[in-house]
Amino acid sequence: MRKPVALRLSAALGTLALAAATGVVLNMPTASAAAAGATGYATQNGGTTGGAGGTTVKATTGTQIHQALCARAATSTPITIQVEGTITVGNTAKVSGTGCNTAAGVIELKGISNVTLVGVGAGAVFDQIGIHIRQSSNIIVQNVTVQNVKKSGSPTSNGGDAIGMESDVHNVWVDHATLVASGGESEGYDGLFDMKDSTKYVTLSYSILRNSGRGGLVGSSDSDLANGPVTFHHNRYENIDSRTPLLRGATAHIYNNYYVSLNESGINPRAGGKAKVDNNYFKNSKDVLGTFYTDLPGYWQVAGNIFDNVTWSQPGEENNPAGPNPTSNTTVAIPYPYTLDAASCVPSIVTATAGANTGLKVSDGNCAATTPTATPTSTPTSTPTASATPTATSSPGGTNLSIGADSDGSSKASGTSYGNVRDGDTGTYWSPSGATGSVSIKWGSATSVSRINIREASGATGNIGSWRVLNGDTGAVLTSGSGAGVISFAATSLKKVTFEITSSAATPKVAEFETYA
C-alpha cells in the first residue's frame, strides 16, 4: 500500500499543532455528566450504556484511572470515571486488581465492560498517551482530547493510535472527542481512530480528527474482514492525508460529517467494504470517496452530499474514485432511526458542536445546536487515592482488634512473620518476598471493621506504593489508595481483612496492621 505523504500544514494549522503539543487548552467550558445516550450502531446489539447505574469517581492521573478500574469488585461492575487534567505516560502506571488488566504508558481498557470515561471541569487532555480498548464491551469515551500519540520516537504509546480498539471489542461509543496528531507516519504517528480484529457496533460522533496522515481504519489488513458495523456522524476531519475512514470488508454509515483538506484520499471502502454516505460536506479536498491503493473493490451508496472544490484523480488498476459525479453502486440498510441535517448547514453545525469542551452540544436535527438532557450519575468521590489516602500514622483510637487475632498472607520474606503485624511491636515487621504481596488479619467469628492503620517499619517509611483493602471473605474491594497510615471505609462485618500491596517504591515493611471497629 502506498504510504501517505507528509502533511502540508498551513501556518494556522501549525499553530494549532503547536498548541496541542504543548498541552495548551483555551476557552474550555465546564462539562458534566454524559449526554443523553448513544447513537448509531452503538445502539444495536443490546446497546451501549457504559458505566450507567454504577459508582462515579474522579481521576486526575492515568494511574488513578487504572486504580478506579481495579478497585471494582469485578471486571463488569459499572463505573463512571470523571477525568480532569493532563494524563501522560509519566503519570500512568500499571495497577493490578480483580476489576482490571492494565499496562503502564497507555490507558488500558482490557478485558472489562460497563465503563464510562468522561472529561469534566477544565477538561481532560491525554497528552502523548493513547486509549487502548481490547477484549471489552459497553464502553463510552466522551469529552476528551487525545493528542500526539506516537508509535516511534519518545514517548511511544498504543502503537501510535489515539484511540485503538482490537480483539473482540463491541458496543463502544466515542463522543465529543478531539483526536489530534502533528504529522504522518514519517513523523512517528499512526491512526487517530482504529478498529480491528473483531471490533463491532461502534459509533464515533461529534468529534474532531485533525493534522494526521491517517484518520482511522476498520480492519488492519485485507484478511481482517470481521469488523463493523460502525457509524460516523457530525465529525470534523481536517488536514488528513487518508483513511477517513479506510473500510476493509466493513459496513459504515457516514452522515453529516464535515471534511476539510483531505490531502490524498478520504472514505475508502475496499475488499467488500460498504459505506452509506449521506449529507456530508467535502471542502478543498482530493478523492474524497472511492477505492484506493488496491484492486479489491469496495462499494458506496451516496445521497445529499456537497462537494465544494473537490478534485478527482483518473481511474487506474488500484485507483477507483467515485467522482467527479458520485453515484451509488450498492445499497445499505440502516437498522436504527436517525435524523439528517441538510448538507448545506453541516459546516456550521459541526463547527458549533464537534470536539471536546464544547458543552456536549448536539444538533437538534434541524441545523441548530442544543444541549441534551444529561444522564444522571451518582455524586463523584474525590480521586480514587484521595478518598483513601492515609490521614496519619498515629492510632485512630479504640481497641486494636488485631491483638489476639490471627494472620496470614500471600508471601513473606525470609526472616519475617505474618504475626509480626499484630503483635503490637513496631520493631518487628512482615515483608513480602517481592515488591508486592498481601497480608491479612482474621478472626474466628464475624467482626465489624471500618478502619485500619498500616505502620511501616523504621527505615522503610514511604516504601508502600498503591494498595487495596479487601474483604477476605468475599474478595470485594473495600477501598484503594497509596501510602501507609490510617485508612477508613464503610463498616463491614467479616472474618478476614486483607491489605494487598500492588506497587512499591522499595521493599515494603509492615510493622503493624491495626484494625478498628
Active site residues: 243
3-state secondary structure of 471: strand
Q: Is-contact 429 421, C-beta < 8 A? A: yes
Per-residue DSSP letters for 233-264?
A: ES-EEEEEEE-SSEEES-EEEEES-EEEEE-S
Q: Is-contact 355 177, C-beta < 8 A? A: yes
**Residue 465 and residue 56: Cα distance in Å, rounded?**
23
Residue with cell 470536539: 355
**Residue 377 and residue 493: Cα distance in Å, rounded?**
28
**Residue 467 and residue 71: Cα distance in Å, rounded?**
10
Report residue 167 as a C-alpha cell. 480483539
By the 10 Å C-beta count (0-12 exposed, 13-18 middle, 19+ buried), 15 is classed as exposed
**Residue 126 and residue 128: Cα distance in Å, rounded?**
6
**Residue 272 and residue 499: Cα distance in Å, rounded?**
54
**Residue 295 and residue 321: Cα distance in Å, rounded?**
12
**Residue 117 and residue 172: Cα distance in Å, rounded?**
11
Integer CA distances (angstroms), 1 to 222, 252, 311, in order:
11, 22, 22
Contacts of 377 (CB under 8 A, 6+ apart): 33, 34, 52, 56, 80
Q: Tell me the three-class secondary structure of 302-364, residue by residue.
A: EECCEEEEEECCCCECCEEECCCCCCCCCCCCCCCCCCCCCHHHHHHHHHHHCCCCCCCCEEC
What torsion, rounded to 10 degrees, do the Cα atoms 97, 101, 106, 109 define?
-110
Backbone angles phi, psi at 17, to 5 degrees: -65, -40
